[in-house]
Amino acid sequence: MRVTYINPFVRSVADILKELTGHDVKQETLTLVKGDVHMNGLCVLLGLTGSVEGQLTLNLDPKTAKGILAAMGIEDAEITDSRIDDMSKSALMELGNMVGGKVVSALEEEGFDFDITPPILLLGSATTSSLLQEERIILPVKIEGIGKIEINIIAREKKG
Amino acid sequence: MIGVSKSDNRAYGVLVVDDSTFVQKMLQQILASEGFDIIATATNGEEALEAYKKMQSKIDIVTLDITMPKVDGIEALKNILAFDSAAKIVMISALGKESMVKQALVLGAKSYIVKPLDRTKILERIAKVVG
């Protein structure tokens, strides 16, 4: 995975979360891992297609999700291990769209042309996803007063 | 009130097009609070064209998302403008890449707003378009 991709991803995620919540956002240490993704309860998954291919996932627990949703104007989010209300689901998928849209714009400035697929919301506590088996970057992001989101990034240039 | 015409005291009618129920709700809240009349909502470009054709006389402005199922916002922009070249359409999308913004404006969109939804930014842009 080229370093060229990483900074725009990191910057985009932090910018959107700060803009949406109005809270300070701190990036923690990046790690490079391979293997399954351990979900914390909720996972917003986006695909990258075009000259850069891969996946972007936002992995968060229900408490953090409720904090973000409250900052987005949804005070009565109902989230359990097996259920989420429709408005909260829609808002979290929109969060994924906004992060993805920002990443696409930032990488276009670096000369890469690609798009994001519509987000998918996965729900489940302590579930292990087998969707991502490639080497990926994990970027933990702390939203002050709300909680932590783990961003998983797989990005590779399309060959040919 | 930005959403009310100063000349005849009539509320401007809006068609809100977005596949996200959350975004629809937020836009309706923001616009209704300034006196705009939400005439209809649509969740894809196909529904948007149908709604526009049915209620054209009441619609002063269309807010249009881009990434939507069936018919996306760029196609919907072309289709609505083909039906009514005077339609006032504001794109509101999470996609802010320069090539997309240019494409929409060249095709005839009056403005382009990049999400997240910011009340001040939305009202300023829409006021310019209806004003």
pLDDT of residue A129: 54
* B13-17 vs A52-60, strand pairing mode: unpaired
Name the average pLDDT for chain A.
85
Q: Which residues contact A61 (CB under 8 A, 6 or more apart)?
A: A40, A41, A42, A147
Decide: residue B125, CB within 10 A, 0-12 exposed, 13-18 middle, 19+ buried. middle
Dist CA B95 CA B117 (whole Å): 13
pLDDT of residue A34: 80
Residue B2 or B59, more confident: B59
What is the per-residue pLDDT across B22-77, written as a single tens digit (0 to 9) for each? Answer: 999 999 999 999 999 999 999 999 999 999 999 999 999 999 999 898 999 999 99
A95 and A57 Cβ atoms separated by less than 8 Å: no
Is the confidence at residue A134, as pLDDT, over 80? no
DSSP per position, B34-92 = TT-EEEEEESSHHHHHHHHHHHGGG-SEEEE-SS-SSS-HHHHHHHHHHH-TT--EEEE
Instruction: Reply yes or no: is the peptide bond before residue A8 cis, omega within 30 of 0.
Output: no
B94 and B115 Cβ atoms separated by less than 8 Å: yes
CB contact (8 A) between residue A87 and residue B97: no
pLDDT of residue A6: 78
The share of chain A scoring above pLDDT 90, in percent, equals 41
Dist CA A104 CA A69 (whole Å): 23
CB contact (8 A) between residue B21 and residue A86: yes
The token duo for A64 is 């953090």
Residue with tokens 């095709």: B107
Is the confidence at residue B120, as pLDDT, over 90? yes
Phi, psi of B72 (to 5 degrees): -80, 175
Contact list in A for residue B23 (CB cut-off 8 A) is 90, 94
pLDDT of residue A2: 63
CB contact (8 A) between residue A87 and residue B115: no
Contact list in A for residue B99 (CB cut-off 8 A) is 108, 113
CB-CB: which of A87, A105, A118 is closest to B96? Answer: A105
Provide the shortest C-alpha distance from residue B101 to chain A (in Å).
10
Count Cβ–Cβ pairs < 8 Å, chain A vs chain B.
Answer: 57
- Rg of chain B over all Cα atoms, to the nearest angstrom: 13
Q: Where does the pLDDT of residue A132 fall: very low under 50, low under 70, confident under 90, or very high at 90 and above?
A: low
Is the confidence at residue A133, as pLDDT, over 70? no
What is the per-residue pLDDT across B64-109, written as a single tens digit (0 to 9) for each? Answer: 999 898 999 999 999 999 999 999 999 999 988 888 999 999 999 9
B26 and A91 Cβ atoms separated by less than 8 Å: no
